[in-house]
Structure 1
Amino acid sequence: MRLDRFLSEATELTRSQAKRALKLREVSVDDVVVRDGASQVSDTQTVRWQGEVLERIGWRYLMLHKPVGVECSLRPTHHPSVLDLIDIPQLDRLHPVGRLDVETSGLLLISDDGKWTHRVTSPNRACVKRYRATLAEPISDKDAERIARRFEAGLTLQGEDRLTRPATFERISEREVLIGVTEGRYHQVRRMMTAVECPLVQLHREAIGPLELDPDLEPGECRYLRPEEVAAF
């Protein structure tokens, strides 16, 4: 890895600040001052900045219990960003893995590993996202079966010509259902429920693929994924 990149990933320095630190002879590799940012460093070498040993921050994978009222955008417009809920170094490297709208709560994954993000979000991988919806009106078993058939066959959403991929719809009680989708279209679940004339009042994502929201996480809390959870995707 280039030394200037190592510095920017192991500290809060920007690339330009890292280059300045090099010019000021503040950086050493194995106790030898190095001024060339293009110099290559390996994992076995010791890099110091202003005498402090640096360690590169590796890929990070987090699970967040997203509350209602925060945006998944990195440039929020009317509400706080989900990144405002996280207190770890180099937040600017992180990005949400998929999105939840402002009024939807539940499981949100966050990472700085672009390849891993693609594996989770790519429609070709058919990763099921499971939602629990609270309905505005009670639903009967008969109506639930009818909606389940329509979800399985695919729906045409307003403003689109392409059918949704097969999805699942399961009645839990008169006012609660579970919905499973493998896509991530704009406000997809809410628009699907509108298409079948079954308005909802609350939407909460419980799981993404094999990973379920940790019940110990309160809204707004997050934790790092365990190695086996990262590998599950």
Structure 2
Amino acid sequence: MGVRLHKFLSECGVGARRWCEALIERGEISVNGCVVTKLGTIVEPECDSVIFRGKRVVPQENEYLALYKPIGVVCSCKKDSKYQRVIDLIPENKKRLFHVGRLDVDSEGLILLTNDGEFSHIITHPSFEIVKEYQVWLNTRLTKEEVDCIASGVPISDEHIAHAIVKKTEPLKKGCVVYLELVEGKNREIRKLFGRLHKKVLRLRRLRIGPVQLGSLSQGQYRPLTEEEVSFFKKMKKE
């Protein structure tokens, strides 16, 4: 049965779906000896030979990890980065995994890694509305009006309004700790959101992605996802 090339690449662990589309457009994928650059190309996995960087792409067993990303570690596959990468925190035999979504270099907390592109797509695409929870340290306290404003939506650019739900706040001698949930989480969205409210983010940690909790993981430590955790996301695709 035929399948779209980018979907086949993603399911074989080459990368997330959008990354695979970019590979095709750049001419880095060949099928039966011919370079393919057209999105939507159909391949027959059982008989077509799909090559990426000199190696045939074949289905592989999927793997799913939850990792505590420390501050100063980047979510990047580029080896020329001046920072340590998330994938540098896992053993060599797991280097085929890639990170699902991102946390900026100044943030810490839960990041997922996998070789399952469809799994990555479910978590990162806003249409699936996967809730993520964060713990944020601010330099000043939040007022009730500011909490309501965050729920209503804060414009952080001409094109985007950030929405989040403040679950609770904990006062500190200087500032407070905020626990909030949001769905999309674009590039540095939380920092931009609080910046619009004239707050400075002192520390930011992601605690949860869907049902997957950071829990008792130490910085740099990882664990495999449970069958129940993986199943939660897989069921969303079927729905």
Q: TM-score, normalised on structure 1?
A: 0.69
Aligned to 1:148: 147
Residues 148 and 170, structure 1, Cα contact 8 Å, conserved in 2: no
Unaligned runs of 5+ in 2: 1-11, 13-44, 48-58, 234-239
2:87 corresponds to which of 75, 83, 99: 83
Asked if residue 169 in structure 1 is aligned to residue 166 in structure 2, the reply is yes
Deviations 1:98-119 (A, max 9, x none): 1001111111000110001111
**Alignment deviations for residues 134-166 of structure 1 (CA, whole Å, 9 cap, x no partner):** 1112x15xx1x21221122111114x32322x3
Partner amino acid, structure 1, of 2:160: R
Q: Which residue of structure 1 lines up, in the alignment, with residue 207 of structure 2? A: 206
Task: Give, in whole Å, the separation in 1 of the partners of 2:111 and 2:82.
Answer: 20
**d(CA) in 1 for partners of 2:86 and 2:196?**
29
Question: In the aligned structure 2, how far is the partner of 1:230 from the partner of 1:86?
Answer: 20
Give 1:226 shift: 1.2
- The answer to which structure has the higher strand fraction is 2
Amino acid at match of 1:89: N
Contact 1:96/1:111 (CA < 8 Å) preserved in 2? yes
CA contact (8 A) 2:207 2:215 kept: no
Aligned residues: 174
Tell me the amino acid that sits aligned with residue 62 of structure 2: W
Alpha-carbon distance in structure 1 between the residues aligned to 2:146 and 2:135: 15
Q: Structure 1 residues 153 and 221 mapped into 2: Cα distance closer, same or farther (>3 Å)?
A: same
Distance 1:67 1:131 in 2: 14
Report if the CA contact (8 A) 1:147-1:169 is conserved.
no
Q: CA RMSD in A?
A: 2.0
Q: Secondary structure at the match of 1:68?
A: coil
Q: Where do 5+ consecutive residues of structure 1 fail to align?
A: 1-8, 10-37, 41-55
Equivalent position SS for 2:208: strand
The AA in structure 1 aligned to 2:161 is L
Distance 2:205 2:213 in 1: 12
TM (norm. structure 2) is 0.68
Off by >6 Å, runs of 4+ in structure 1:
none
Which residue in the other structure is 2:191 paired with?
A: 190
Q: Which amino acid aligns with 2:225?
A: L
Kindly provide the amino acid, as one letter, of the partner of residue 213 in structure 1. Answer: L
Counterpart residue identity of residue 200, structure 1? V
Provide Cα deviations, 1:42-83, integer angstroms capped at 9, x if missing partner: xxxxxxxxxxxxxx8511100001111100011162211000
2:77 to 74, 78, 81: 74
Task: Give the one of 92, 95, 99 matched to 1:96.
Answer: 99
Q: Report deviation, 1:39.
A: 8.6
Which residue in the other structure is 2:135 paired with?
132
Amino acid at match of 1:125: F
Q: 1: CA distance between counterparts of 2:86 and 2:46? A: 36
Change (3 A) 1:222 1:203: same
